[in-house]
Amino acid sequence: MSARRLLIDVGNSRLKWALLDDTGRTPATAISHHGAPAETIASIDAGAVDRIVVANVTGAAHAEALRAALVARFGRVPEFAQPVDGLLGLRIAYAEPTRLGVDRWLGLLAAWAEGGTAACVASAGTALTFDAVDAAGQHLGGIIAPGLLTAQQAVLGATRFAAAGPAHVYGDHLGTDTEACVRQGALHACAGLVERLAARHGGERRYLTGGDAAVLRPFLDGDWTVAGDLVIAGLARLASR
């Protein structure tokens, strides 16, 4: 019987999960966790599983709660992914590889393993990140910047603008009121940063992931693959070893 592996990606605002067996991987299911990811474990309708592999960016305190919730729900002790330098030929640029965010590493691992050529990954979520790998599997490094909503919140929190708050509807234009100006400033900052880095380090394949990937994609030039579950794909590579 094929081993059933539960893959879980715990992000800053959402938890995603999928099942992997010898026939392939199910589509990822996303659940908003509102700062308490362990409380969402009861909502994972995965049935019996043989192994659980987790990517967690929410810190050690949540990791312990997640561990306890997964043991209680599935009777399995989860394995928490950590960056491994050289895995599948991907060499990490950090002097201390384990300090690279596990989500960034797994996304880059999935991108690299898919084609073995130079590639970049932009992740648009609470934070906007960008990482690149060359054709030899060397991670070139990356950046971490505010995401779309985080950028708006930063401006509104540091100023005295009479604005209602962050907005979610974007357009390829300039703003004509304060809310629109803050919103469009965040959009053009994020899109411009991604395009600038991709022009320099984009490689042959460009991936866009994260909760705001579909929002940002229409405002980017060039050929981008929107892969909302790229971290899950990286977990699948890891769990298949």
Condensed to tens digits (0 to 9), the pLDDT of residues 85-97 reads 999 999 999 999 9
234 pLDDT above the threshold of 90: yes
- 8 Å CB contact between 38 and 62: yes
Domain boundary among 27, 56, 80: 80
Average pLDDT of span 46-74: 96
DSSP annotation of 55:
E
pLDDT, position 172:
83
Helices 230-239 + 102-115 axis angle, to 10: 80
Domain boundary among 80, 96, 129: 80
166 pLDDT above the threshold of 80: no
CATH number, position 153: 3.30.420.40
Average pLDDT of span 94-107: 97
- The chain-wide mean pLDDT, for the chain, equals 93
- Local structure of 241: helix, strand or coil: coil
- Residue 52, H or E segment: strand 51-56
85 in catalytic set: no
pLDDT band at 197 (very low <50, low <70, confident <90, very high): very high
Tell me the C-alpha distance between 160 and 228, whole Å. 35
Q: One of 22, 85, 103, 172 is an active-site residue; which one?
A: 103
Residues in CB range of 9: below 8 A, 6 or more apart: 15, 16, 17, 28, 54, 55, 103, 106, 229, 231, 232, 235
Same domain, 45 and 130: no
Question: Burial level of 217, CB count in 10 A (0-12/13-18/19+)?
Answer: middle
DSSP annotation of 105:
H
Average pLDDT of span 104-111: 97
Predicted model pTM? 0.92
Average pLDDT of span 105-129: 95
Same domain, 76 and 92: no
Domain of 46 in residue numbering reads as: 5-80
Among all chains, which residue has been given the structure tokens 């073995």?
116
Same domain, 121 and 209: yes
163 pLDDT above the threshold of 80: no
Average pLDDT of span 105-131: 96
Tell me the C-alpha distance between 70 and 75, whole Å. 7
Token couple for 17: 């999960």
Same domain, 42 and 133: no
Same domain, 216 and 137: yes
Domain count, the chain: 2
Average pLDDT of span 109-117: 94
pLDDT, position 2:
74
Same domain, 213 and 138: yes
Q: How far is CA 23 from CA 1, 51, 63, 103, 240, in A?
A: 11, 16, 30, 25, 12
59 pLDDT above the threshold of 60: yes
- 8 Å CB contact between 126 and 169: no
Same domain, 73 and 94: no
Sign of CA dihedral 23, 29, 33, 39: negative
Average pLDDT of span 69-76: 97
Share of the chain above pLDDT 70, in %: 97
- If DSSP states are collapsed to H, E and C, what string results for 121-177? EEEECCEEEEEEECCCCEEEEEEEEECHHHHHHHHHHHCCCCCCCCCCCCCCCCCCC
1 pLDDT above the threshold of 80: no
